Amino acid sequence: MTKYNELQVAANRTRKRVGRGIGAGGGKTAGRGTKGQNSRTGKKLHAMFQGGQNGIRSAVPKARGFKSLRTPAQVVYLDRLEGLKGTVDNMKLYEAGLIATPFHTVKVILRGELTAKVVLKTQGASKSVIAAITKAGGSFEKVETPLQQTAKAAEEADKK
């Protein structure tokens, strides 16, 4: 069993005071070696520095153009709505496994045919989809993207 006074604790070690004479142990060059840019005072080299050549900075191309931060709409094809009945909204599409999340924009695009009577309530649908739904006896209503409830708001809703 080790004694309390023999414990080797790195957290309490004092920093080495370099450049305080030969007797102190870190004197003269103070661990910087001899001569050169790195041994001098006040000269700090930045992370991208490669001895004067442009190196990695010029090797990596500039990101030109425009990158949109808007998340693209999730696409659902009309023929996938065939099995669904009644009102179809983001939550119903999510439960059916047709979209990844109910809290992003959804757009329905024409592919195949629709025979089921469906009331579609999504953020978007092509004109041909709206025509196909109306022909089948259903309707389309454009609605806002549902917002995800925070844990606090859900907790308060449960209390009511």
Domain that holds residue 135: 74-142
Report d(CA 37, CA 49) in Å as an integer: 12
Q: Is it the case that residue 72 has pLDDT exceeding 90?
A: yes
In a domain, 137, yes or no: yes
Mean pLDDT of 100-114: 93
Q: Identify the pLDDT of residue 120.
A: 94
Q: Is it the case that residue 57 has pLDDT exceeding 80?
A: no
- Check if the beta carbon of residue 78 is closer than 8 Å to that of residue 110: yes
Q: Identify the pLDDT of residue 126.
A: 95
What CATH number corresponds to the domain at position 100?
Answer: 3.100.10.10
Domains identified in the chain, total number: 1
Question: Which three-class secondary structure string do you get for 9-52?
Answer: CHHHCCCCCCCCCHHHCCCCCCCCCCCCHHHCCCCCCCCCCECC
Mean pLDDT of 72-99: 92
Q: Is it the case that residue 160 has pLDDT exceeding 80?
A: no
In a domain, 9, yes or no: no
In a domain, 38, yes or no: no
Report d(CA 57, CA 13) in Å as an integer: 39
In the chain, % of residues over pLDDT 70: 100
- Check if the beta carbon of residue 102 is closer than 8 Å to that of residue 88: no
